[in-house]
Structure formats: C-alpha cells, structure tokens
Amino acid sequence: MRFAACVEYDGTNYCGWQILGHAPSVQEQVEQALSSIAAHPISVTCSGRTDSGVHAVGQIIHFDTDAKRDPRGWLFGTNSKLPSDIALRWVVPIEDDFHARFSAFARRYRYIIVNRLARPGLFQHKMAWIYYPLDEKAMHQAAQVLLGEHDFSSFRAAGCQARHAIREIQELTIWRSGEMVYVDIKANAFLHHMVRNIVGSLLKVGTGEKPIEWIAELLALQDRTKAGMTAPPQGLYFVQAYYPERFQLPAPSLPPLIN
C-alpha cells in the first residue's frame, strides 16, 4: 500500500534532505522512524530535495509498505521516533500512481530576511540577516523579468545535475513587513541553488549596487559567474508542492512566518 505524508523540519542540524553519508540527513531520520513503525525497511521519495541548513514546512513524501497501520498510527508512531526538529504533519493512503516528485506540477519557496542594523538574537538559524538597508520595491520590480519560461543558467549551481536549465517561474513577489523582507517564488521546478542565487543577485539591486535592469542582463547572459552570491541557506523554506486535485491531499496549514 502507498502512503503520502507531509514533513516539516528545521534543517539547521542536517546536510539537507538527501542521504549523503558524511552527515545526518532529514531523509535518513524519516526513513529510520518509518521503518521502526513498519517493522521493515522503508524508503521514501520527496517532492523536492533541500540543501544543508534549509527548512521545510510542506515537504511531501510517499512510501510503500505491507505493514497494516492506520494513518493515525503512522503519524503518532513515526513522530515518537523522530528527533524534535523533524515531524510528520499528516499521513494519508494514496493511489499507487501518486509520486511525490513526478506528480507535482509546481513548488513554492519562501526566503525570509531580517533587515536591520543589529543582528537577531532570536531565530538566527531561521532567517537571513542583512544589516544594510534594502529597497524591496526595486527588488520586486527587477525580479519580474524572471517570470515565465527561461534558461536560468545564471542562477544555477555549478554542480547542478539537471539535464537543462529551462524552468518556468509562475509567481515571484518581494515585499516587506516592518524589518522583515520576504521573497515568495513558485515554479514548475527548481535548479540546484536557484532560489538562493536569485535572492543573492536581487540583494545587489536592493542595496543600489546594481540597477533594476541588471537582473534582465544576467538572465540573458546565462553565466553563473556574472551573478550575485548564493544567499545563506537559513532564510530558505520549502513551503509547498502542488498536485492534481484528484489526489485530494490535505490543504496546507502554514505557520505565520510562511502564510
């Protein structure tokens, strides 16, 4: 039988989602906990891998098992085996043709920046700190050229293993609430470090170091070496994966920083 589940996690203590062998991963912790409840080895597939230090509130996984457990048993049993910084939010039985990665037609991320002179004492691992003033309106205006289907080679990590750099950004909004600046981005799929590289380049516009038109120039150049830095991982959250309605997955319930 196949199950789908939603995982939230604080990525601070992990090398990322994927098992790499040299450091603890979120995937390893989830598989070990599920396997303990199933009483047999469980492997999981996720909707989108995250890097070291990156968080998630709506990571979707699927797994197959012969174990007879109801969704409540899977949920509470697995959470009892997980460390405190990882938790399942829900577990539901799902059709056999559901695939956490390939059934998803879009994904959404949020990048959170605290923009003030003093460093944060709270949540220092949950957001990026930028001490110089940012013009979020200029950042938003510059970012709109990225909407649509493009070659995002300028915002692709050197080690990215994707076959090509063509992606479609469907939504991209930068906005401020007090000293917090948010970058919301939704696309059909993402390249390795794509969101963090876009944010790193937009920060140069936000400080006035680069003009608004610079982002369009970067997009056309298709050259990662010309773009801005890779923004720090702690500000990035995997928010949601989108699936066809026929799967009837639970609607996301998002925390205040993300909603």
Catalytic residue list: 51
Listing DSSP states for 214-255 in one string gives HHHHHHHHT-GGGS-PPPPGGGEEEEEEE--GGG-PPPP---
Give the DSSP H or E segment for 197.
helix 194-206
Tokens coding 179: 């000293």
Residue that the structure tokens 């199933």 belong to? 38
Tokens coding 135: 């013009």
HSE-CB for 201 with a 13 A CA cutoff: 26
**β pairing state of 236-242 and 55-64:** parallel
DSSP 77: H
Is-contact 155 167, C-beta < 8 A? no
